Amino acid sequence: MQAGYGAVSRYFGMLAATMKRWQEAEQHVENALAMNTRMHARPWLAHTQYNYATMLQARNHPGDHEKAVFRLHEALATARELGMCALEVRMTVREEAHPLSPMLFDIDDLSPREVAALRLIAAGKSNQDMADSLPISLNTVATHVHNILAKTSSANRTEAAAYAMRCGMVSE
């Protein structure tokens, strides 16, 4: 399942995407996301999130753009948090060549991880759900929620979710 390179499913997903076998690619990449999360293999999780965004952008089915932006935000946040400069540069260069979102790198001073957390707030996720999805501690989730409310001038999670929808960060 894993050696020093994260979940093997990631490589199967990349191969399937190269062959434009989109359904297989998505299944493999989702399996890799789950495995890397379970293994707490955060660097490989960031690579997998980036690969997923790239695959979704290439496939370009309805809803893929939003998912790709979300995955790229996650990957960028993890890469920055872990100091993965090479991956961050690769994502930045790709974003300049094939833009997914004009807001990807600067949304009201929200960090990429805060953007990912805000998307989960807008989806109605609890702090525990957010901790499991991102994967971060509950204390870190609470800090992100506090920062999101302050930076978006929101009084509560409902206002923050409305802000996310107004900014086009989630589909209504």
Contact partners, residue 45, CB within 8 Å, separation at least 6: 6, 33, 36, 37, 78, 135
67 and 124 share a domain? no
What tokens were used for 7?
A: 């979940």
pLDDT tens per residue across span 113-136: 888 888 889 989 999 999 988 888
**Based on the domain organization, do 26 and 75 belong to the same domain?**
yes
Phi, psi of 16 (to 5 degrees): -60, -40
Residue 158 domain boundaries: 112-166
Q: Residue 136's domain is classified under what CATH number? A: 1.10.10.10
Residue 23 token pair: 């359904």
Instruction: Identify whether residues 38 and 64 lie together within a single domain.
Output: yes
Q: Look up the pTM and report it.
A: 0.59
Does 107 reside within a domain?
Answer: no
The answer as to whether 28 is a domain residue is yes
Residue 171 within any structural domain of the chain: no
The whole-angstrom separation of Cα 154 and Cα 145 is: 10
What pLDDT band is residue 168 in, cutting at 50, 70 and 90? low
Question: pLDDT tens-digit profile of 46-98?
Answer: 999 999 999 998 999 998 888 888 888 888 888 878 888 788 777 876 776 66
